[in-house]
Structure 1
Amino acid sequence: MLFQNDKLSVRLLGQQDSSLLAKWLSNPAVLEFYEGRDNPFDDNKVQEKFYNRENGVDRCIVEFDNTPIGYIQFYPVDLDERKLYGYADITEVLYGMDQFIGEVAYWNKGIGTLLVNSTVKFLLEQKKADRVVMDPQTWNERAIRCYEKSGFKKVKLLPKNELHEGEYRDCWLIEYTKRELTD
């Protein structure tokens, strides 16, 4: 286990989790917000996207009360993304993260906020991150509210940044800075 906060825990993804990812990423309710309903996953696609990849991404399963309910990944932001985001000249330790709750019954219960807060704390303390960034699509207001409750601030609009359901969508670059802890 990487970290735990009350009933929430995050552990590294294991091969035994592939069927969970395939289940979650073939559910239209989840796909509406993550990957797109036109992009369902089967076991092969899960293997290709989540396993046997050495790209510096920590891929994890989120559990609540010992039940797997979602997925989170975090990673040092590479130079190409730093340039896109406007951080090319910043020498701080910069992490990105992406997540979803795959078990719809766990939505709207504050677990997403607990997950984001706990992960940010882990990244700041254990990975020595100075900033944590995400790029949610602008229309995903529920996710953005969750991130803002967790201390993230909108930095800039990223026009046509992500292909979702057949069209490129605008995203917000949002960030949490270490300064937020002392302000």
Structure 2
Amino acid sequence: MPPTDESTDAGTARATRADRGPGPAVRASTGSDPGASTDCEDTLDLRLSEELIALFAGDTGSRDGTEEGAAYGIPAGFPEGAAYGIPADPPEGAPDGDDLLDRVGGWGPATTPAGVFHLVPVRAGRDLALVHRWMNDPAVAEFWELAGPETVVEEHLLRQLDGDGRSVPCLGVLDGTPMSYWEIYRADLDPLARHYPARPHDTGVHLLIGGVADRGRGLGSTLLRAVADQVLDKRPACARVVAEPDLRNTPSVSAFLSGGFRFSAEVDLPGKRAALMIRDRALRDLL
């Protein structure tokens, strides 16, 4: 069962939508699909009614998102967008207004000590091969458990892409190079909420660093801090960012601690014992 954190520094029906291309793109670690076995747990085990979605989303005000490329988190004309080959047209199905995660794809760049960073929502047709390669790295596969043929990763991604928007799979693009995989998700709407005292709009993160050369040098901590701060900046209703790395994944737990998260508790989740990590809005300037 994949983690909601993953190997930050340790070493996260077929496609029919047009943006997936002709080819056949993380599973949060605590969800459960009533029709699936416990090792295929997923954040998307529940369909929300439109009324509930509207209730949870709330009225957070208007957002621009007008520039082409905003749906990818990279403004039009931004050099990193060109380096990654971001197309001019937003993906089919991009949200037109508020959604459960306040338009992750439109959050824009984060300036970090490591470079300019963007969260770019996954497109299966473009990104499946890359995410599949990362998931088959032994250091990643040990915790995400998504190694195997492309169809394994594809199904995991499509469960999110075809869901109600409570979990958004993204590539982390650093100075124009995709180098990490993220899942930004509504922890309060996730089965994780059964295992800790969740609060409305709690937002969860999963992360894996793709390249071996990027691991073990503090990059995970730097990006975790940047992304958590983006969540708190872009989601005013969210008071906490949470994660639940596997307790066995000591480098990942350390990365969260160095990234401004605090250890809250040990929790027993389906398939693992986890460290509940929290970054509080009220403490963000102290940690």
Checking the alignment, whether the CA contact within 8 Å between 1:113 and 1:150 is kept in structure 2 is yes
Q: Among residues 82, 96, 106, which one is paired with 2:204 in the alignment?
A: 96
| Residue equivalent to 2:284 | 181
State the SS of the aligned residue for 1:7. strand
| Residue equivalent to 2:110 | 4
> What is the correspondence of 1:150-161 to structure 2 with a 5 Å cutoff?
150-159=259-268, 161=269
Specify the code of the residue in structure 2 equivalent to 1:64: L
Checking the alignment, whether the CA contact within 8 Å between 2:203 and 2:240 is kept in structure 1 is yes
What is the deviation of 1:182?
5.0
Q: Show structure 2 runs of 5+ residues with no match.
A: 1-72, 74-106
| Residue equivalent to 2:228 | 120
Specify the code of the residue in structure 2 equivalent to 1:4: A
| Residue equivalent to 1:142 | 251
Q: Show structure 1 runs of 5+ residues with no match.
A: 164-168
Q: TM-score, normalised by structure 2?
A: 0.56
Q: Which has the higher strand share?
A: 1
CA distance in 2, matches of 1:21, 1:131: 28
Higher-RCO chain (CA-CA 8 Å, sequence separation at least 6):
2
Specify the code of the residue in structure 1 equivalent to 2:181: Y
Q: Among residues 159, 170, 192, which one is paired with 1:60 in the alignment?
A: 170
1:130 aligns with 2:236: no
| Residue equivalent to 1:48 | 155
Checking the alignment, whether the CA contact within 8 Å between 1:157 and 1:171 is kept in structure 2 is yes
Aligned length in residues: 171
Taking a change above 3 Å as real, the CA distance of residues 35 and 182 of structure 1, as seen in their structure-2 partners, is closer
CA distance in 2, matches of 1:11, 1:49: 17
Over alpha carbons, which structure has the higher Rg?
A: 2
RMSD: 1.8
Taking a change above 3 Å as real, the CA distance of residues 111 and 8 of structure 1, as seen in their structure-2 partners, is farther
> Comparing 124-133 with 4-13, which one deviates more in the overlay?
4-13
* Runs of 4 or more consecutive aligned structure 1 residues displaced over 3 Å after TM superposition: none
